Structure 1
């Protein structure tokens, strides 16, 4: 399978880590196509990649991790795509274990980090919360929603490029999209060492962003699982308020009417959202892509610095 394999590494100012990581990766999988997406780096990331003989896609400015992943997927020629971080947290020696699941027939294999691999206790607790929420939305056990280390079938992953955000978090979106479309996903336990260099994540800002992404993708995945509990909550409060006012003042109040009617409206919104979701995924599965954004300008470089073209 290795000659049909493309390994994609989004990179922003990761020159130091790539100096040691790329030789390890090439040694582990000598026949694989390696693509580094240089997302507007200000260091010598591109030069390090070219010196190691890998294909480089360069963004003229930083477009975000998700945009880098999409660029890599567009340029990859392999039937199987492996996505890894370029900061040294993902180990090349773990790739064969992910590929073994793909060979068994799975559509996506995700490296699930253990508790010792979390950058901090706060991030570990946050990831556990995200995993629980996403598991509820999808109806499947999700062991690591935000892991960027995964192997996927290229044709199925490209169905969802139009859904992936340009920033964080493409792992969240792609995982929930695969579950929504009925594609098989499996998790493989991994240990991620401490990253080389400085993290680009802000726990407060990006943590809230991850939470928003879960609910956004939840509405794309199974809207009624989000809207129905809210609707029932409004209905329950409205009914309780009505019973209280009926006993105390003997009448049906405007507040009771407002709460009950709001519950019906929220339920109807959920039904409409469910129909829209079905249309979106049916359109994607019939290979009629729903384009939500323009493809960014990218410059590609081969292992020889003298060869380049504008995509």
Structure 2
């Protein structure tokens, strides 16, 4: 790779890291070689090994947490600390190849506000995660009306001012990629995708926990729904309950000439689910309106 292909004005690369002393050395050496002018920020999220020392030896700026606050919290800390117009987010475990960064930046220059490195099936850690991610992607695509090949990828390039708008929405845990992707779609910011090949992580292995990852699966689905358009999920559920109640009422009326408690329960549940969706839709709209107002105030203050 030539230097001309890796130069980009005002570029910051933020790497959240926790106990990644083994892998981060090679990642930073490669980044410094390819992007000598970039601002390298390593957010040490409460590591108990020499992650911060290794990062410092490679010329990175260190943002250190006294204890682990979570991957999302580390990303937010890095976004607040950087002073560049373009932000690249990547992992410290060696899965994300710095060679792919120029492709993300080229796509960003086409007019996108965020570009995501989309992993293929061969890049998934296990069959279980591949199936879960495929379901996430399909579900999110249906909700937004846009093709989303990789909803949970943490490898992305984004315009810093756009990203900072949604810091208050981002969770401290590992589902921040889902949140920021849905927030961009909800606000009408164009999101692009570039296919990448993710390597196997270095250092400590990643294990799949049926309970922990199952709960995470459900939480991500709820986030997708509530962050973009809650009524797209609540209304079909409400309609299903209503139709079930209606058919059950017709059945009991024709067979027993009764309006049963079950029909009442189904109709009531349908109304409640619809109202919950309506309230959620209003809260979502208020969240994004508050974000717009806050951004406008920030721009006004800068102009003064």
- Per the normalisation by structure 2, the TM-score is 0.91
- Partner Cα separation in structure 2 for residue 234 and residue 62 of structure 1: 43
Alignment-derived partner of residue 253 in structure 1 = 260
Question: In 2 relative to 1, CA 174–18 (structure 1 residues): closer, same or farther, beyond 3 Å?
Answer: same
Q: 1:1-311, aligned counterparts within 5 Å?
A: 2-199=8-205, 202-204=208-210, 205-287=212-294
**Can you list the C-alpha shifts for 1:5-35, whole angstroms capped at 9, x where unaligned?**
1000000011111111111011111111010
Structure 2: give runs of 5+ residues left out of the alignment. Answer: 1-6, 297-304
- Asked if the contact 2:169/2:179 (under 8 Å) is kept, the reply is yes
Secondary structure of the structure 2 residue equivalent to 1:2: coil
Deviation for aligned residue 1:206: 3.0
Q: CA offset at residue 65 of structure 1?
A: 0.4
TM-score (norm 1): 0.89
Task: Give the SS at the match of 2:166.
Answer: helix
Give the match's secondary structure for 2:201.
coil
Change (3 A) 1:142 1:103: same
Distance 2:28 2:207 in 1: 23
1:282-309 superposed Cα distances (whole Å, 9 cap, x missing partner): 11012269xxxxxxxxxxxxxxxxxxxx
Once residues 87 and 20 of structure 2 are traced to their aligned partners in structure 1, the CA distance between those partners, rounded to angstroms, is: 21
Name the structure where helix makes up a greater proportion of residues: 2
Structure 1 unaligned regions, length at least 5: 290-311
User: When the two structures are aligned, how many residues end up with a matched partner?
Assistant: 289
Q: Secondary structure at the match of 1:67?
A: helix
Instruction: Say what the alpha-carbon RMSD is for the aligned residues.
Output: 1.5
Task: Check whether the contact 1:123–1:203 (CA below 8 A) recurs between aligned residues.
Answer: no
